Amino acid sequence: MSERRERAWVSELVEVRPFGEGRALVATGSIPAGARLIALAHVFVDLPSKYTIQLDEHLHQAGTEEADDFMNHSCAPNVTIDFAALEIVAIRPISAGELVTFDYNICEWEMREPFTCRCGATRCIGEIRGFRHLTAPQRRSIGPHLSPYLRRRLAEERELGDDDERRVSRA
């Protein structure tokens, strides 16, 4: 993270629109893979909420009621988080009108408010409870997008002998 941002920067390629009974972040035009869509505000809290993004055990990017707070979860997301820059980046082309989604499990060890996923993805995992609850195959599938904090937690688990392969055999 270089300069401190008091507010998020949001690309003109996305906007918050009504969706269902609430609001969601939607692409306003075609977005290429690699496009930077949001630079998150550098506002941090020590406790999680429904709208925070976990960066470390007691460090969360705060919900600021800006565009990033309206990104829905998907088990087949179209954006990820560049944790070094604290930016939201497209990981595949996104069509105009498509919801902008990320996998909450890439940054949350334990969800503050677990929920049943309704993303409709072929490989939807159902209950979204946080990274610690994922099976070994689920963990591997999101591995390239994990936050540095979750990478560190995973390495610590392996050092202690509580790796994800053993967890699956106990489940």
Domain containing 104: what range?
9-170
User: Is position 2 within any domain?
Assistant: no
Average pLDDT of each block of 10 consecutive residues along the chain (171 residues)? 83 97 96 98 94 95 95 98 97 98 97 95 96 95 96 91 51 38
User: Is position 1 within any domain?
Assistant: no
Domain count within the chain: 1
Residue 167's pLDDT is 47
Q: What CATH number is attached to the domain comprising 51?
A: 2.170.270.10
Residue 161's pLDDT is 80
Residue 89's pLDDT is 98
User: Is position 3 within any domain?
Assistant: no
* 3-state secondary structure labels for all residues of the chain: CCCCCCCCEECCCEEEEEECCEEEEEECCCECCCCEEEECCCCEECCCCCCCEEEECCEEECCCCCHHHHCEECCCCCEEEECCCCEEEECCCECCCCECEECHHHCCCCCCCCEECCCCCCCCCCEECCHHHCCHHHHHHHHHHCCHHHHHHHHHHHHCCCCHHHHHHHC
